Structure 1
């Protein structure tokens, strides 16, 4: 695995990536709100009530009344902002911090927020379709952030990124190689773990959604894959 730390790409169209920072603050705040209570029953209720449970979404199973938090139709989005593990939160927020600012810069604040939500929704629904009978809740921003990663790859494939290979070896590598290797890892894991114990299909669904939406939402002056920007 490769953990990105810094890319050094300057912002072109905005002073600060307010939406990226707000999303990081919101996810972190919700994590602290839930986990600092140290009430395991409450944490389970949050994961089950706001997480996406495919069988509940498709109406083949029902939650106990005491676990109901949000309507099932809302959970493909509500799960995106939740994290119950510190490593899960830190990993997702690091990817969003490194890649999100430049994608937000390329799209603008409002369009980036829409993009993030749609990628999260695309990842959630892909996970549900691929695991329709699952009773395990899906939580986390990984699908949405996978869409951000897809957009970054399409915008800055030649940028060299500082990061940690295998989680501890410092390395500076071209974004194309790092991200393509990450995508292949997600695909292999999705095939190895088809029962959805980890949301690999959510990652792939977010990637596909992000790749489809990026050409539609970026500024006209932005180029894709090194091609000339639109006039």
Structure 2
């Protein structure tokens, strides 16, 4: 287990990470409506979650479901969360890593990047899951893409985080994110909680890594400064 807490990298291209905050706010609002709104949890999940078997046409939901075209559930499911812990975990990752990735990409490109990673994660899950009838929800796929982008852009930045059972450590991003990725890989291929879409995490991460060079600004001053420092650091 790993939870990021703080990285301390300043924003250089913008004053406020508006896109990151809007994504977090939207996820929180949807969570509140899911569990405390006038609709039932099952109704919201049935109407907006992504169900692979429905996309592939092997299963049909009752009339009125989903609430949107089935292809659009590849997006709507990103903003649903199953529990408060699920929500807090994803939003904490997005809060710590999202602002700097947004700074390196710009508001609109960051939102596009996040959604593409989330969609790719859902599709990765759909083609691999042995239980295509189970709904998939959560921002984990998009967040995984953001984590991959952060690793590429700021590999040596030190991050404060809680490891395993709450051990606080201050380590470079390539160690902290590497540890996180190893946990996802092990859980996906060796065995983890069946209720978690581990392959969605891996799919979002890999697509995020592929998209980052294409969507980052041509010149990022923070990255340039870090790269210059690395060149001056004795090996």
Structure 1: tracts of 5 or more residues without a match: none
Residues 214 and 181 (structure 1), Cα distance of their counterparts in 2 relative to 1, 3 Å cut: same
Note the 1:63-142 alignment, pairs <5 A. Answer: 63-65=61-63, 67-131=65-129, 133-142=131-140
Aligned residue pairs, count: 225
Q: Secondary structure at the match of 2:41?
A: helix
Q: Tell me if structure 2 keeps the 8 A contact 1:162–1:171.
A: yes
| Alignment correspondent of 2:10 | 10
| Alignment correspondent of 1:55 | 53
Distance 2:135 2:190 in 1: 19
Q: Tell me if structure 1 keeps the 8 A contact 2:124–2:199.
A: yes
What does the per-residue CA deviation read over 1:168-225, in whole Å, with 9 as the maximum and x for residues that have no partner?
222111111010111111111111348953110110110011001000011111348x
| Alignment correspondent of 1:152 | 150
What does the per-residue CA deviation read over 1:52-100, in whole Å, with 9 as the maximum and x for residues that have no partner?
1111111111112254322211111110011130000000000000000
Distance 2:192 2:179 in 1: 20
Q: Tell me if structure 1 keeps the 8 A contact 2:34–2:41.
A: yes
Q: Secondary structure at the match of 1:22?
A: helix
Distance 1:87 1:206 in 2: 20
What does the per-residue CA deviation read over 1:103-141, in whole Å, with 9 as the maximum and x for residues that have no partner?
000000111011011000110110001126511100000
Q: Tell me if structure 1 keeps the 8 A contact 2:7–2:159.
A: yes
Distance 1:28 1:133 in 2: 28
Q: Tell me if structure 2 keeps the 8 A contact 1:35–1:84.
A: no
Distance 1:196 1:82 in 2: 18
Distance 1:63 1:151 in 2: 36
Q: Tell me if structure 2 keeps the 8 A contact 1:55–1:132.
A: no
Q: CA deviation at 1:48?
A: 2.0
Normalising by structure 2, report the TM-score: 0.90
Residues 186 and 62 (structure 1), Cα distance of their counterparts in 2 relative to 1, 3 Å cut: same
Q: Tell me if structure 2 keeps the 8 A contact 1:131–1:195.
A: no
- After superposition, the CA RMSD in angstroms is 1.9
